[in-house]
Amino acid sequence: MRAASHLSADDVKNLMTQAVEMYLLGENERNIEGSDYDGKLYTEGKYELLGELGGQRFDADMDTIYGRDKSTFLVSEQSRGVGSTISRN
């Protein structure tokens, strides 16, 4: 929905992995840290739609080596361990 503009591909993957773990564990907030950022990843547990895609909304507020940045994205219920490489099942 809204991508952070100062993150590398590896940092984006790490951020998404953290969000999926939070979703699976039912966590609402987590401190996050990557190679070029640190901050807070959080959710209010709200379900949102983007066209035909829907899922729980996650927001990340970060301090990067380039300044403040923000990201907003959805984690789909289809990621509840079905075919996921980071499944807790």
Dump pLDDT digits (tens) for 16-57: 899 999 999 999 999 999 888 899 999 999 998 888 888 999
Alpha-carbon gap, residue 21 to 47, rounded angstroms:
17
Position 3 in a domain: no
Instruction: Place 87 in a pLDDT band, splitting at 50, 70 and 90.
Output: very low
Note the Cα 73 to chain centre separation in Å: 6
Average pLDDT, the chain: 83
In a domain, 84, yes or no: no
In a domain, 1, yes or no: no
Task: Answer whether residue 83 is part of any domain.
Answer: no
Q: In the 8-state DSSP scheme, what is residue 28?
A: S
| 51 burial level (CB within 10 Å; 0-12, 13-18, 19+) | exposed
Total domains present in the chain: 1
Residue 4 lies in a domain: no
User: Has residue 66 been placed in a domain?
Assistant: yes
Q: Quick one: pLDDT band at residue 13, thresholds 50, 70, 90? A: confident
Report yes or no: 4 and 67 within 8 Å, Cβ to Cβ.
no
Does residue 87 form part of some domain?
no
